């Protein structure tokens, strides 16, 4: 689940090892992960448990690291400033940490859902992401399974999360090319329709507004067409993907609000933190 291409001869500025690791795991994105199983638990009447929440973060981070490992050759050509191609993080260290995180996730969530989530992550990273239509669905399934880690039974909210992330992933696949202009509004439409059917609340409206804001950033007056590759305008696209990802926090808060307002408030409070962190660490 990227910045514009740079000239191969360009030498990216060196960053610290810590910064490299935080970039590798897309630090802002990690804030959107624990809310998946927490929302799953609260919507289905399961007991709140810290283990699925931590397991979801472990799986997510393992997936991001392994994704960059599999993409190292392409990133060396198109994004040489990324941690692995720049040498800030070695491939060996990345592989060890990704494996350790995956094992930790399974230890904390030794269930069929945990195994299925890890399998879906590996499927996406090893080739699923390159298959049109299937790739975004695969990524959406990962987010839906993350929700199910904490759930006592299936809930339609898992489907909404999966569909939303599938749409965002489908758009993100084209951040180097040019998808149809109307695609920029799909994330907001998906959330609006989903919440109208599931459970419309004031917090849900906030989530839709955040998703709409992302579309607006690429609309007339900001970037009237999807910016061409290699241009300064094209660099706006990854931050917009980050805005759409950040909308997951109010989405999760809306799911949790009735059952546990405190959890919902914490998730909402993480949204401005995400926005601050996203100024330094990319989300796409």
- Domain map of the chain by residue range? 17-277
- Round to the nearest angstrom and report the end-to-end CA distance of the chain: 7
- What count of other Cβ atoms lies within 10 Å of the Cβ of residue 108? 21
Task: For residue range 55-110, list pLDDT tens digits in order.
Answer: 999 999 999 999 999 999 999 998 899 999 999 999 999 999 999 999 999 999 99
Q: Which of 40-44, 159-163, 201-205 shows the lowest mean pLDDT across its residues?
A: 201-205
Question: Does residue 9 register a pLDDT over 70?
Answer: no
Higher per-residue confidence, 2 vs 125: 125
More confident residue, 128 or 181: 128
pLDDT of residue 221: 41
Helical ranges in the chain per DSSP H: 17-24, 27-30, 35-44, 50-70, 72-78, 83-86, 91-108, 112-125, 134-148, 156-172, 186-197, 202-217, 237-246, 248-256, 261-277
Within 10 Å of residue 97's Cβ, how many Cβ atoms? 18
Q: pLDDT for 256-266, tens place per residue?
A: 999 999 999 99
| pLDDT tier for residue 49 given thresholds of 50, 70 and 90 | very high
How many angstroms separate the CA atoms of 130 and 148, rounded? 25
| Mean pLDDT computed over 181-193 | 91
Please report which confidence band the pLDDT of residue 238 belongs to, taking 50, 70 and 90 as the band edges: low
pLDDT at 211 over 50: yes
Q: Is the pLDDT of residue 14 over 70?
A: no
Res 4: pLDDT: 41
- Check if the beta carbon of residue 62 is closer than 8 Å to that of residue 91: no
* Torsion sign (Cα): 273, 229, 78, 134: positive
6-20, 56-70, 151-165, 200-214: least confidently modelled range: 6-20
Q: Tell me the per-residue pLDDT of 128-158, one tens digit each, with 9 for 90 and over.
A: 999 999 999 999 999 999 999 999 999 999 9
Mean model confidence pLDDT for the chain: 88
| Range scoring the smallest mean pLDDT among 13-17, 46-50, 127-131, 137-141 | 13-17
User: What would the pLDDT profile of 270-284 be if each residue is shown by its tens digit?
Assistant: 999 999 999 998 887
Q: Report yes or no: 174 and 149 within 8 Å, Cβ to Cβ.
A: no
Q: Which residue has the higher pLDDT, 22 or 229?
A: 22
Quote the CA–CA distance of 166 and 66 in Å, as a whole number.
Answer: 20
For residue 118, what pLDDT band results from cuts at 50, 70 and 90? very high
- Which pLDDT score is estimated for 222? 46
């Amino acid at each position: 689940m990227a910045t514009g291409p740079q000239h191969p001869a360009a030498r990216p500025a060196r960053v610290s090892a810590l910064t490299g690791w935080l970039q590798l795991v897309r630090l802002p994105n990690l804030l959107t992960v624990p809310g998946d199983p927490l929302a799953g638990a609260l919507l289905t009447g399961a007991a709140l448990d810290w283990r699925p929440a931590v397991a979801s973060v472990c799986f997510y981070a393992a997936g991001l690291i392994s994704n960059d490992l599999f993409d190292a050759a392409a990133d060396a050509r198109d994004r040489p400033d990324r941690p692995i191609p720049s040498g800030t993080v070695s491939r060996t260290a990345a592989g060890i940490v990704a494996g350790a995180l995956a094992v930790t996730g399974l230890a904390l969530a030794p269930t069929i859902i945990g195994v299925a989530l890890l399998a879906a992550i590996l499927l996406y990273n090893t080739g699923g992401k390159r298959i049109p239509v299937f790739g975004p669905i695969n990524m959406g399934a990962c987010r839906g399974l993350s929700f199910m880690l904490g759930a006592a039974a299936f809930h339609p909210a898992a489907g909404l999360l999966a569909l939303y992330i599938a749409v965002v992933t489908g758009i993100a696949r084209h951040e180097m090319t040019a998808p149809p202009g109307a695609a920029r509004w799909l994330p907001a439409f998906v959330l609006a329709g989903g919440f109208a059917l599931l459970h419309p609340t004031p917090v849900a409206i906030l989530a839709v507004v955040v998703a709409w804001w992302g579309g607006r950033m690429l609309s007339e007056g900001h970037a009237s067409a999807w910016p061409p590759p290699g241009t300064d305008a094209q660099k706006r696209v990854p931050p917009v993907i980050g805005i759409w990802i950040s909308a997951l926090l109010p989405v999760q808060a809306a799911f949790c609000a009735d059952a546990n307002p405190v959890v919902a408030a914490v998730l909402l409070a993480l949204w401005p933190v995400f926005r601050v962190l996203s100024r330094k660490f990319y989300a796409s």
